[in-house]
Amino acid sequence: MLDPVPATRPAVGLAARCTRVLFSPWSRLSLLVAVLLAAATTMLLLEPQRLLASGWPAQLSGGAAAVVLFGLAYGVCTVAFVPRPLLNLAAGALFGTQAGLAAALAGTVLGAGISFGLGRVLGQDALRTLLSGRWMRAADGQLSRHGFRSMLALRLFPGVPFAAANYCAAVSRMGYPPFLVATGLGSIPNTAAYVVAGSEASSPTSPAFLAAMGFIVLTGIGAAVVAWRRRHRLGGE
């Protein structure tokens, strides 16, 4: 009678190899790219900017439940690369300054947390092998050693893309709690400016609207100047 054990060993070996391939760093990175592309495509098809034009559904026009629902939708939209300024304006227009700011900040932290988790689980192992350039190693070291203050500075600076900061932090060795706390605190100024602008959009000559727009314009100009000087400096090296 033949021994069945040797016959099963090739199958077991094949299953183990398939498992290693499926859970390899590059396979997980490919899954992350596919998830983000699918999310971005879905948002393009749904056109969330219609929220500003058509307004929030009448049955969800007020109350804590509407604010919570908007915050959840905000977080998901940021993962799909919907611009935060648009969402912040919508939050202010729909819920006013206080409730709109609460929904926008909650959505900001939620979206950042989801992106950080996706990047850490699916992309960190593969992307860390690409940290060969001097600038990339310096950024990784800064975020790994001084995560809270570095992320706080990135959130306060309006020229840094939200998604880029999320995934850079995920690839580094920065911890989850300092990332979320720095995101929440650092996002307050710019988020508040856009929320106030959205809530006061019907009164474009009001002091609150003019102050909010002035802050947005000044910080945008400052970010452009800093980016230009940094690019000029790097080009001269």
Assigned domain for 15 exists:
no
Cα separation, 64 vs 53, in Å, equals 22
Assigned domain for 139 exists:
yes
Is residue 136 pLDDT above 70, yes or no? no
Assigned domain for 3 exists:
no
What is the tally of structural domains in the chain?
1
Higher pLDDT, 94 or 108: 108
SS3 201: coil
Assigned domain for 75 exists:
yes
Q: Which of 55-69, 128-142, 168-182 holds the top average pLDDT? A: 168-182
Is residue 143 pLDDT above 80, yes or no? no
Domain of 115 in residue numbering reads as 24-236
Nearest alpha carbon to residue 207 among 217, 222, 216, 197: 197
pLDDT in tens, 44-96: 777 765 665 566 666 565 688 889 999 998 999 899 888 899 999 999 988 99
The per-residue pLDDT of the chain, averaged, comes to: 80
pLDDT at residue 50, rounded to an integer = 66
Higher pLDDT, 33 or 54: 33
Axis-axis angle for helices 84-118, 25-46 (nearest 10): 160
- Give the alpha-carbon dihedral of 82, 180, 221, 230, to 10 degrees: -110
Angle at 133 (CA atoms; ends 167, 172), nearest 5 degrees: 30
Assigned domain for 42 exists:
yes
Nearest alpha carbon to residue 115 among 105, 124, 125: 124
Is residue 9 pLDDT above 80, yes or no? no
